[in-house]
Each structure stands twice: as structure tokens, then as C-alpha cells.
Amino acid sequence: MCRKHGISSATFFKWKGKYGGLEVSEARRLKLLTDENAKLKKLLADAMLDNAMLKELNSKKW
């Protein structure tokens, strides 16, 4: 089956361990939550960077 779909057996067993007991709807929900979590982490990192820049600007003596 792995050769038919062009994936390695290691990848197959990794996916099987991660998604083996999930129904299709649960796997889709997990993917949506993972994507949303990645977006939120990016937004948080951007906000923290903005905050650090503002603190740096505020600490300089004019």
C-alpha cells in the first residue's frame, strides 16, 4: 500500500500512530484545530514582537 501511494513505511506508521484511532470527522477537526493554533501562535508572536519594539523605543532617551 505504501508503494502504491508513494510514501515510506516509516511515514505510514507515524501517521497510523497519530491518526489510527480517529474517525474521519475527528481527523478533520484535529487538522482544523491545528491550523487555527498555528495562526494564533503567529499572531501572538507578532504582538510580542511589536510590544518588544515599543518597549525598546520607549526606553531610549530622546
Name the residue type at position 47. A
State mean pLDDT over 6-24: 91
pTM > 0.85: yes or no: no
Cell 484535529 identifies what position?
30
Residue 33 exposure: Cα atoms within 13 Å on the Cβ side:
6
Rounded to whole angstroms, how far apart are CA atoms 8 and 14? 10
**Does residue 51 register a pLDDT over 90?**
yes
Give me the pLDDT at residue 62, please.
65
Q: What is the pLDDT of residues 20-34, one digit of tens each?
A: 888 989 989 999 999
Average pLDDT over residues 38-51: 98
pLDDT band at 49 (very low <50, low <70, confident <90, very high): very high
Q: Hey, where are the domains in the chain?
A: 2-59
